[in-house]
Amino acid sequence: MVFFKQNRKIQVEDILAKPLPQHIAIIMDGNGRWAQKKGLPRAAGHRAGVEALKRIVEFCGEINIPYLTVYAFSTENWKRPQEEIDTLMNLMVEYIQKEINILVKKGVRVNPIGNLEELPSFTYEYILKAATSTKNNDKLILNVALNYGGRREITRAVQNIARLVQSGEISLKQINEQLIAEHLYTKGQPDPDLMIRPSGEMRLSNFLLWQVAYTELWVTDIMWPDFKPEHLVEAIYEYQRRNRRYGGLNN
Ligand code: IPE
Ligand code: IPE
Ligand code: MG
């Protein structure tokens, strides 16, 4: 595959020659605006967004990215009209129904993260089914953030840790960054190396607040339904040229 950047060819081989991000996080944004521009209902944008997700999951598998986290529905998205919420919840079920066999075969583990109990029961059931039937896969961990909020996740961790202190299982002194990380949904996973936000918005929108402390951000004006592997290649290409200092000095 050959992609072009400023008249220069970027080939998949170029990014494969350097260390790849081990964990990529994507805020799948811009579905509504994509549809609006085409004079289509917002639902059509969400449907096209699912196709973009399929392409990117497949491509991440091909280039051996071990962790991919996608933001599918935030704790704030309940503010949308009920009709749109219903569309999104139905689309998730449809995606699982259609894709589950492929995901199983391709070694993808579907790991839903977020406050899942608050989802409509049919969505909840399908999501759990997807998690169960892919639980032995380990080629690509696909964290699907559903009814996810970074603040909610941290609040939940604080509650669980406070419970442990209260019951005497741990002491206050044992609370450190590692313990907090172990109480997040992403427990045991590396923090994202790269976070991508399509649609040109430059905000985190309550996504992975703890985990992105040192993540490299990449924003593009492309709307999520138009997002293709070539854009991911471009993001990774730029990521590989960043100087990650972590507060230190250049080497
Ligand atoms: C992202 O696209 C999908 C979800 C938030 C569920 P949007 O629906 O936010 O699209 P825009 O931002 O209105 O274009
Ligand atoms: C973020 O997009 C949430 C998802 C993509 C699921 P939003 O469209 O909800 O974010 P804001 O409202 O622009 O911050
Ligand atoms: Mg949006």
The residues that are catalytic are 29, 77
Q: How confident is the model at residue 250 (pLDDT cuts 50, 70, 90)?
A: confident
pTM, rounded to two decimals: 0.96
Partners of 146 in beta bridges: 73
**Cβ–Cβ contacts within 10 Å for residue 118, how many?**
11
**How far, in Å, CA of 191 to CA of 214, rounded?**
8
Does residue 62 line the site of ligand 2, with CB under 6 A? no
Does residue 70 line the site of ligand 2, with CB under 6 A? no
The packing angle between helices 42-62 and 82-105, to 10°, is: 20
Q: What is the pLDDT of residues 139-162, one digit of tens each?
A: 999 999 999 999 999 999 999 999
pLDDT of residue 3: 67
Tokens of 241: 């040229």
What domains appear along the chain, each with residue ranges and CATH number? 12-149+192-241 (3.40.1180.10)
Q: Which atom of ligand 2 is nearest the CA belonging to 148?
A: 6
**Residue 4 pLDDT more than 70?**
no
Give the SS3 label for residue 244: coil
**How far, in Å, CA of 194 to CA of 117, rounded?**
29
**How far, in Å, CA of 32 to CA of 223, rounded?**
9
Q: Which atom of ligand 2 is nearest the CA belonging to 224?
A: 5
Which whole number is the average pLDDT over 19-26? Answer: 98
Partners of 218 in beta bridges: 196
Q: Which residues line ligand 1 (CB under 6 A)?
A: 28-33, 73, 77, 88, 199
Instruction: Tell me which amino acid residue 136 is.
Output: N
132 contacts: CB under 8 Å, gap ≥ 6: none
Tokens of 209: 């607040």
Decide: residue 186, CB within 10 A, 0-12 exposed, 13-18 middle, 19+ buried.
Answer: buried
Sort strands 8-11 and 67-74 into parallel, antiparallel or unpaired.
Answer: unpaired
Sort strands 23-27 and 194-197 into parallel, antiparallel or unpaired.
Answer: parallel
Q: Among all ligands shown, which has an atom nearest to the Cα of 147?
A: 2
Q: What spacing in Å lies between the alpha carbon of 34 and ligand 1's midpoint?
A: 9
Mean pLDDT of the chain: 96
Q: What is the pLDDT of residues 179-216, one digit of tens each?
A: 999 999 999 999 999 999 999 999 999 999 999 999 99
> In this structure, what are the phi and psi dihedrals at residue 69, rounded to the nearest 5 degrees?
-115, 125
Does residue 72 line the site of ligand 2, with CB under 6 A? yes
21 contacts: CB under 8 Å, gap ≥ 6: 65, 192, 193, 194, 216, 236, 239
Which residue blocks in 69-190 are alpha helix, DSSP H? 82-105, 121-133, 150-166, 177-182
Does residue 78 line the site of ligand 2, with CB under 6 A? no
Q: Among all ligands shown, which has an atom nearest to the Cα of 144?
A: 2
